């Protein structure tokens, strides 16, 4: 008889772990609270155009963990990944300087470009980049070939950069990817900055048509191996007996029993649900004090036909160099100070873009006055505020995309409240718990709990983003299976 596993959370890590367990002989049941699966890979449709809610850019698909996992599951050819332009993977416009920096991908190309922009820092740029890749190469699963639960800390990201680079402008510029890693000055550990930046410098890509095909493929793997993915099933109870989970119950009154359980949602939410059954008193206390990563405000624009050409790389707008290190920005007066905007590729992408997405870091507190409302009954004051915020974003975009309002056929937006409701964490953090040097969780959280058959996966554990979520899924799957063979099979491509 097959062993069984119930996965709570059908997001990025939950679906990957479910697929890995399914091909390893487990009968998997995924319980997802939302009407659709995917978490940060979910998509929605407005005025006939489909938009991504998250996972806009990926890395690690060229020989890295992402590519190896897709290969192990046999779905690499089903997922169309379009590499960004090699000569400009990121175009970074800085308002205070009135110019853009066009950053290429590839380690040597990166060093060459920045050395040309800052020739007096050429030797330091190479030393910094070499150390960046050294840390990345030693990081468990993602950069290292041998599984290792140790984390690389050694101070904050901005302190690390300052050890190599003297030029203040360059120090700031090296944080252009901070929104992709949740990095904030004075708080975020070196390894977060190093691993995420090295991943993207090595080569980034985007999913043609968004991540819908990936979500579909992972769900199919679970189902064809005898499992199921059930949406609209919010877990509201964990029933414990003799140090093990006996069952979980859902809001609809269902009860689910299995041999093992995987919590692929926020760790704070698990602590609120199961408390001391899962974690020590010390852990719960520190968890309560831990902050979430910053949230985001998003603007979704359906473009009129043949009005804006498709751009095959990420575009950044920053009010000044220092804006790259401000995180969510808690002041409405100075918001926005940073914007990531892009034209995501559609299937069979041609010359013209059909949509544009703008993502703006935002502190949850700016929308916190309406925290007690749900998405179907937001008051008119909230809708007015959201319109004002959208107009602020459009004003900034007009400076780099003149006439963008006239190109728009339809404009919609989402605030940190939407992120909170869909991601299921208390303050809409787009990367789960904030990784901080000063916090006991700065070097990560174990995938094991006090309960013998309950494991954890997700961005909260060690690293943000797709690679972090999938690395946690792989480690959790190995723990549930009871050995590391699946990790070795994936890393050494024994498939």
Residue 86: inside a domain: no
Where does a domain end: 145, 170, 202? 202
> Does the pLDDT of residue 375 top 80, yes or no?
no
Residues 118, 68, single domain; the answer is no
Exposed, middle or buried, 166 (CB in 10 Å: 0-12/13-18/19+)?
A: exposed
Confidence of residue 145 (pLDDT cuts 50, 70, 90): low
Residue 89: inside a domain: no
Question: What values do phi and psi take at 339, rounded to 5?
Answer: -140, 135
Task: Tell me the pLDDT tens digit for each residue of 147-156.
Answer: 444 445 568 9
Are the CB atoms for 46 and 244 separated by under 8 Å? no
Residue 115 sits in a domain whose CATH number is: 1.10.405
Least confident of 196-205, 218-227, 372-381, 422-431: 422-431
Q: What is the enclosing helix (H) or strand (E) of 160?
A: helix 157-164
Work out the mean pLDDT of the chain and round it to a whole number: 92
**Mean pLDDT confidence for 465-474:** 93
Residue 417: predicted pLDDT? 93
Residue 147: predicted pLDDT? 47
What is the percent of the chain with per-residue pLDDT over 70, rounded to a whole number?
A: 97
Name the token pair of 353.
Answer: 């873009």
Residues 423, 448, single domain; the answer is no
Where does a domain end: 153, 182, 202? 202
Note if the pTM is more than 0.75.
yes
Residue 470: predicted pLDDT? 95
Residue 98: inside a domain: no
Structural domain span for residue 449:
3-38+45-80+209-290+435-491
Q: What is the enclosing helix (H) or strand (E) of 385?
A: helix 380-400
Structure-model confidence comparison of residues 487 and 373, the more confident one: 487
Task: Tell me the pLDDT tens digit for each residue of 194-242.
Answer: 999 999 999 999 999 889 999 999 999 999 999 999 999 999 999 999 9
Residue 49: predicted pLDDT? 86
Residue 94: inside a domain: no
Residues 214, 268, single domain; the answer is yes
Sign of CA dihedral 252, 253, 254, 258: positive
Residues 477, 338, single domain; the answer is no
Residue 231 sits in a domain whose CATH number is: 3.50.50.60
Residues 346, 366, single domain; the answer is yes
Residues 234, 128, single domain; the answer is no
Question: What values do phi and psi take at 180, rounded to 5?
Answer: -80, -15
Where does a domain end: 202, 220, 236? 202
Identify the DSSP state of 377.
Answer: S
Name the token pair of 401.
Answer: 């995309």
Q: What is the enclosing helix (H) or strand (E) of 69?
A: helix 65-72
**Mean pLDDT confidence for 110-121:** 98
Are the CB atoms for 355 and 408 separated by under 8 Å? no
Residue 240: inside a domain: yes
Residue 144: predicted pLDDT? 65
How many angstroms separate the CA atoms of 269 and 285, rounded?
14
Residues 314, 372, single domain; the answer is yes
Residue 150: predicted pLDDT? 47
């Amino acid at each position: 008889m097959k062993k069984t596993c119930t996965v709570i959370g059908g997001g990025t890590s939950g679906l990957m772990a479910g697929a890995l367990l399914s091909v390893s002989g487990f009968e998997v049941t995924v319980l997802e609270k939302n009407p659709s699966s995917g978490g940060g890979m979910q998509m929605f449709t407005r005025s006939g155009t489909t938009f991504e809610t998250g996972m806009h850019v990926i890395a690690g698909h060229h020989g890295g963990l992402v590519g190896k996992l897709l290969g192990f599951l046999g779905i690499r050819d089903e997922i169309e990944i379009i590499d960004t332009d090699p000569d400009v993977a990121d175009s970074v416009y800085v308002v205070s300087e009135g110019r853009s920096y066009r950053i290429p991908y590839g380690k040597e190309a990166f060093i060459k470009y920045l050395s040309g922009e800052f020739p007096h820092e050429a030797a330091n740029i190479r030393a910094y980049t070499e150390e960046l890749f050294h840390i990345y190469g030693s990081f468990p699963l993602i950069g290292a070939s041998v599984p290792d639960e140790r984390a690389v800390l050694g101070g904050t990201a901005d302190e690390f950069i300052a050890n190599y680079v003297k030029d203040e402008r360059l120090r700031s510029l090296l944080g252009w990817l901070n929104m992709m890693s949740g990095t904030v000055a004075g708080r975020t550990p070196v390894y977060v900055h190093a691993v995420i930046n090295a991943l993207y410098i090595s080569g980034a890509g985007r999913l043609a048509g968004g991540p819908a095909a990936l979500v579909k493929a992972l769900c199919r793997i679970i189902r064809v191996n005898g499992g199921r993915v059930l949406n609209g099933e919010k877990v509201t109870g964990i029933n414990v007996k003799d140090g093990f989970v006996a069952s979980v119950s859902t809001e609809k009154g269902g009860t689910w029993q299995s041999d093992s359980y995987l919590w692929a949602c926020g760790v704070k939410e698990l602590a609120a649900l199961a408390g001391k059954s899962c974690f020590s008193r010390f852990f719960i206390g520190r968890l309560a004090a831990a902050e979430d990563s910053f949230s985001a405000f998003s603007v979704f624009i359906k473009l009129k036909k043949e009005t804006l050409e498709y751009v095959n790389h990420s575009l950044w707008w920053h009010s000044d160099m220092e804006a790259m290190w401000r995180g969510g920005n808690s002041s409405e007066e100075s918001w926005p100070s940073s914007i990531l905007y892009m034209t995501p590729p559609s299937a069979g992408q041609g010359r013209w873009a059909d949509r544009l997405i703008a993502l703006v870091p935002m502190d949850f507190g700016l929308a916190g006055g309406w925290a007690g409302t749900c998405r179907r009954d937001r008051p008119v004051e909230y809708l007015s505020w959201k319109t004002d915020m959208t107009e602020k974003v459009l004003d900034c975009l007009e400076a780099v995309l003149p006439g963008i309002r006239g190109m728009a056929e339809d404009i919609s937006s989402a605030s940190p409240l939407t992120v909170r409701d869909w991601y299921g964490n208390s303050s809409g953090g787009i990367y789960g718990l904030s990784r901080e040097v000063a916090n006991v969780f700065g070097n990560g959280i174990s995938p094991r709990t006090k309960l013998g058959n309950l494991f954890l996966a997700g961005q909260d554990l060690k690293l943000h983003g797709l690679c972090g979520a999938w690395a946690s899924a792989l480690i959790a799957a190995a723990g549930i299976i009871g050995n590391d063979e699946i990790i070795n099979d994936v890393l050494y491509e024994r498939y």
